[in-house]
């Protein structure tokens, strides 16, 4: 590198924690305080290594399935949602459950149930194997067909072309999803759209901010984990918006010095919806140490949405507060 004068960082806003992730992480922390360790959590509460490791240290135990949870224990379901069969299995095993499914995922589950009741064929746009897709599909397995991107559209078959609706995973690329919908509409002109967007506000806002910075950025660093769908989409959106390079890192220590060639003058920084701000701060420090001290905010939206804690937890926290007040 030759000069430090023209180096700058474009910092996306909004970035990082969304309301659903914030709620899920606080739910585990509050549950640990209220009931004591261990609290079992089915699957990663949110798709972020740092968050999972931090909660493990506090006493959370992450399991793949409810049959790994000892009978009578407390199990929390992750923000991505679960199929009804998982609730049934937990009940059979006499587990106390706390459901931290994001309310915006629950909204999609309810849409699936409603359209299945009306006997629609439901085309669920999403990534095969993603936990959210497995959970949503489980609401109406006989009615739901997964459509994994535009190239999957030609494989879709339905029972009645006049009664088809599309829904989607909450964390997809907005543009790619609309391309999939357009192709589906060409095949099924009567295709019905969901009553409101399934791709959530947080996913859309983070992608919009990256679009604003993408064209100006020589390099975009997205902080997030490899299994985080919305974080991976941010890398794709950055490249689509014109960034010369974009990479996903869990931690600042994963940034490769070789990415900062002499030509790199503007670095975009953002983070997925499951990423705590401390990890972004570490990336900014890493960049500052290499001459990128000038940080400009690139703002796409204001966010003020919050969700209340899962109802089972709220009930027990209220009861505990009342007990304490009584004496």
- The residues that are catalytic are 132
CA distance 24 to 273: 12
Looking at 10, 18, 45, 209, which residue binds ligand SF4 (CB under 6 A)? 18
Between residue 74 and residue 93, which ones bind ligand SF4 under the rule CB under 6 A? 79
Cβ atoms within 10 A of the Cβ of 108, count?
Answer: 26
Question: 115-121: long-range contacts at Cβ-Cβ below 8 A with a sequence spacing of 24 or more?
Answer: 115/140, 115/143, 115/165, 115/167, 116/140, 116/142, 116/143, 116/144, 119/143, 119/163, 120/163, 120/164, 120/165, 120/192, 121/145, 121/158, 121/159, 121/160, 121/163, 121/164, 121/165
From residue 189 to residue 208, the character string flagging contacts with ligand SF4 as x (rule: CB under 6 A) and all else as - is: -----------x-xx-----
Residue with tokens 């640990």: 32
Q: Output 157 or 196, the one with its CB closest to ligand SF4.
A: 196
Any residues with CB less than 8 A from the CB of 169 and at least 6 apart, and which? 108, 124, 125, 126, 127, 130, 132, 133, 136, 198, 199, 229
Q: Quote the distance between the C-alpha of residue 206 and its chain's center.
A: 11
| Minimum separation from the CB atom of position 106 to ligand SF4 (A) | 9
Question: Which region, judged by CB under 6 A, interacts with ligand SF4, from 17-25, 114-122, 154-162, 254-262?
Answer: 17-25
| Minimum separation from the CB atom of position 249 to ligand SF4 (A) | 19
Q: Does 21 bind ligand SF4 (CB under 6 A)?
A: yes
CA distance 306 to 283: 26
Question: Which region, judged by CB under 6 A, interacts with ligand SF4, from 63-71, 102-110, 138-146, 285-293?
Answer: 102-110
Looking at 9, 39, 83, 102, which residue binds ligand SF4 (CB under 6 A)? 102
Total residues in contact with ligand SF4, by rule CB under 6 A? 15
Q: Output 14 or 214, the one with its CB closest to ligand SF4.
A: 14
Question: Which region, judged by CB under 6 A, interacts with ligand SF4, from 34-42, 59-67, 99-107, 116-124?
Answer: 99-107
Residues that bind ligand SF4 (CB under 6 A): 18-21, 79, 102, 104-105, 170-171, 200, 202-203, 230, 273
């Amino acid at each position: 590198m030759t000069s430090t004068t023209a180096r700058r960082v474009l910092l996306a806003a909004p970035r990082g924690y969304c309301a659903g992730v914030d709620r899920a992480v606080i739910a585990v922390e509050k549950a640990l305080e209220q009931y004591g360790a261990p609290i079992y959590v089915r699957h990663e509460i949110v798709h972020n290594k740092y968050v999972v490791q931090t909660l493990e240290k506090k006493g959370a135990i992450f399991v793949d399935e409810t049959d790994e949870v000892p009978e009578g224990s407390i199990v929390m379901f992750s923000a991505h949602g679960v199929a009804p069969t998982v609730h049934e299995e937990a009940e059979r095993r006499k587990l106390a459950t706390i459901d931290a499914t994001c309310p915006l995922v629950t909204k999609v589950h309810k849409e699936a149930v409603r359209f299945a009741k009306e006997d629609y064929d439901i085309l669920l746009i999403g990534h095969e194997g993603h936990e959210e897709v497995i959970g949503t599909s489980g609401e109406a397995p006989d009615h739901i067909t997964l459509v994994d991107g535009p190239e999957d559209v030609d494989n879709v078959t339905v029972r009645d072309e006049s009664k088809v609706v599309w829904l989607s995973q909450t964390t997809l690329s907005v543009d790619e999803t609309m391309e999939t919908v357009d192709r589906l509409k060409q095949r099924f002109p009567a295709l019905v759209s969901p009553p409101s967007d399934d791709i959530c506000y947080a996913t859309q806002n983070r992608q919009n901010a990256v679009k604003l910075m993408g064209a100006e950025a020589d390099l975009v660093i997205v902080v997030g984990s490899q299994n985080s769908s919305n974080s991976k989409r941010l890398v794709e959106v950055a490249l689509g918006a014109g960034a010369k390079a974009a990479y996903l890192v869990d931690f600042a220590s994963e940034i490769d010095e070789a990415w900062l060639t002499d030509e790199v003058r503007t670095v975009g920084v953002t983070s997925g919806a499951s990423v705590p701000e401390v990890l972004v701060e570490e990336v900014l420090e890493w960049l500052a140490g290499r001459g990128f001290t000038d940080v400009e905010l690139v703002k796409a939206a204001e966010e003020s949405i919050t969700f209340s804690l899962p109802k089972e937890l709220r009930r027990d926290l209220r009861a505990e507060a009342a007990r304490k007040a009584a004496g």
